[in-house]
């Protein structure tokens, strides 16, 4: 299995459950910013940019 580079941010307490936020294609992880501020007080929040969006690199052919 190949590794894939994906830009992500993890916010909130490190000892709490984590909520994963995946935005719609064509958006970046910034779409979740207002929600993250509220959630990160109580739980971990992981959000990411899909491949080829935001700060995640464009995939190479065949990967």
Domain boundaries, position 30: 1-63
If 0-12 CB within 10 Å is exposed, 13-18 middle and 19+ buried, where does residue 33 land? exposed
| Total number of domains constituting the chain | 1
Task: For the beta carbon of residue 18, count every other beta carbon within 10 angstroms.
Answer: 13
**Predicted confidence pLDDT, tens digits, the chain (63 residues):** 578 899 999 999 999 999 999 999 899 999 999 999 999 999 999 999 999 999 999 988 665
Tell me the pTM: 0.84
């Amino acid at each position: 299995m190949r590794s894939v580079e994906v830009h992500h941010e993890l916010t909130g307490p490190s000892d709490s459950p984590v909520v994963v936020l995946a935005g719609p294609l064509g958006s970046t992880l910034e779409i979740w910013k207002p929600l993250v501020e509220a959630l990160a007080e109580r739980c971990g929040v992981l959000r990411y940019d899909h491949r080829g969006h935001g700060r995640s690199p464009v995939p190479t052919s065949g990967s």
